[in-house]
A and B are shown apart, each in its own frame.
Chain A
Amino acid sequence: MSKKKTYEAEDFSHHVTSMGTYFAIFAALMVLTALTVWVAFQDFGSLNVPIAFAIATVKATVVVLFFMHVIHSPKMTAAILVGSIVFLGILFLLTFSDYLSRFWPMA
């Protein structure tokens, strides 16, 4: 019984992130935003969209891990996060099984 209590107490304890980390992450996000803007004015051909997505993914990952504390959360939180991304992946993957193989008469 007492064992269970300490386990739950751990669950809810908050890891204190230092101000330095927050500012470092903020700076990184600003740099990445500048990069996004710069990239938007370049033409990489068919890579335009993948590059934009890649930068956005890095930004989102950093926000989720540090600002939303997932990096210091219990494994269950990570499992739920990964699970959601997997299901989003299913939505994309199977939808593209149609789009990438469809006959587009106008294109």
Chain B
Amino acid sequence: MTTDAIDSAQTPRHEEGTNYINAEYGLLSWLFTIDHKRIAILYMISVTALFFVGGIFALLLRLELMTPQGDLFTSDTYNKLFTLHGVVMIFFFLIPAVPSVLGNFILPLQLGARDLAFPKINLLSWYLYVIGALMGVVVMLLGGVDTGWTFYTPFSTTYSNTWVVPTVLAGFIAGFSSILTGLNFIVTIHKMRAPGLTWFRLPLMVWALYGTSLIQLLATPVLGIALLLIAVERLWQVGIFNPALGGDPILFQHLFWFYSHPAVYIMILPAMGVISEVIACFSRRKIFGYKFVAFSSLAIAFLGFLIWAHHLFVAGISVYSAMIFSFLTMFVAVPSAIKTFNWTSTLYKGSVSYEAPMLYALGFIGMFLIGGLTGLFLATLGIDIHVHDTYFVVAHFHYVMVGSVIMAYFAGIHYWWPKMTGRMYPEWWARLAALLVFVGFNLTFFPQFLLGYLGMPRRYHAYVPEFQVLNVMSTAGATILGAGYLLPLIYFVWALKYAPRASANPWGASGLEWHTPSPPTTHNFEDTPTVTWEAYDEKAWLKEAEKNV
């Protein structure tokens, strides 16, 4: 009944059936679009392609690690495989996935705006991303790069004889894509909110994207400089990082991690935004402690800048400095815990239902808990020295970046799929995929905590035979995980044509994006909406919808 009321309120007055997808036809209409929704779709397609490229590298790594001997690849090939896995997954999938796909599509809709503030810059971001990604692909075809995704000096500047310079340039170019997206989002959130949509009426996704954008804008340039300096030292032997030339190799690690620690929050913050939306929707409650969750996004964005050298504890920084960074790192646990507690409190006495987005969201909370808490282990100086560069670290950051971020990305894709495509998806297949991902992921990465604690170092293609059982478990898990990721690809493509059509608000959710038809028209809203209700106040929202009938 309630959804009927919303549907009739949302019936478009203009020509029936026109939307942003069928507004124009042809490849060029997509390649030269400045519609944020179409650009989001472009991002979605390219990011998905790169995700499967990175995934193939991951499967090859796991295949090698089934046996203790390095029998499938030489150690050099193995070095290239884990480097490319990292570079592709981080720079070309995780960084753009949530902000550039989901954020791009949803942000203007949630603000009641017609587009982002700079639609052409938005398209430029996508092109920069594509140029960077294509350069990455060229590097693969030429024979790859073996420095690890971290490009540590002096190996990257002096000793590696692989394609380091094109790879860092690819990262540099993709970085500008990220900077421009952040800039675009910040201006949009400041300037283009619908009348009545005050800061504290914003959906938490918007707060999360705001924090994300700040990091993109402030941290990415430092990575850009660090990457360029590698090229400068490598090409012209300018002494910046190489001690033989009077440089300091640890300086690179400082510059690199000044970006790359906050970069984890470029991935996880918007993911947390998605989780807030999904949890509120599928437990039919306002998010518990809205302001705390909103400000914790900004707190995470800020604190993320103070803790980078926890990656350098055994690199040779001073003990004094290591103690400061160890201490500061602990603080990030506070806003992270605030979010986790508030999501769980939201569930309390809510009428929870378990559609696929919610399954992913609940999975997120569990895995983020494990990923986050093991982060505290690693922040502790003594433990970090013991498990540094072991599989414990690998397991930790995969729990955060895969277990949490990709779970949230999938939650968001399922949640907004009806809005993006105008079609539902097959619910039971989606639930099965969520289950496969959850089981596969934990089977892959939980054994790696144990391996790391037992002392198995990362980045080797061979290991002592005692570790085989846990490694086989991990590889088996990776196979299940791979199936879990492939399944949505299949049913989403199927759904484009065969799934039932979606109404304007199939979930009965409360954001402004559900206030417009699915899929939306090119201009998002027939009339700019005026917001008179608080965030997640579903009752006020329904009243408004009924008034418009």
Contacts and interface: CB of A to CB of B under 8 A. Distances in A.
A106 to B, nearest CB: 9
A83 B320 CA distance: 27
Contact of B318 (A83, A84, A90, A98): A98
Contact count band on B: 20 to 34
B258 A97 contact: no
A101 interface: yes
Contacts of A95: 251, 254, 258
B254 A90 contact: no
Contacts of A90: 305-306
A95 B307 CA distance: 11
A94 B318 contact: no
Interface in A68-104: 76, 83-84, 87, 90-91, 94-95, 97-98, 101-103
A84 B309 contact: no
Interface residues of A, number: 13
B324 interface: yes
A66 B312 CA distance: 41
Contact of B309 (A83, A94, A103): A94
Contacts of B317: 98, 102
Main secondary structure of the interface of B (DSSP, over half): helix
Contacts of B190: 76
A97 to B, nearest CB: 4
Contacts of B250: 98
A76 B319 CA distance: 40
Contacts of A87: 218, 305
Nearest to B243: A106
Nearest to B190: A76
B44 to A, nearest CB: 31
17 contacts: A84-B218, A87-B305, A90-B305, A91-B222, A94-B309, A94-B321, A95-B254, A95-B258, A97-B318, A98-B250, A98-B318, A101-B319, A101-B320, A102-B316, A102-B317, A102-B321, A103-B318
Interface of A: 76, 83-84, 87, 90-91, 94-95, 97-98, 101-103
Interface of B: 190, 218, 222, 250-251, 254, 258, 305-306, 308-309, 312, 316-321, 324-325
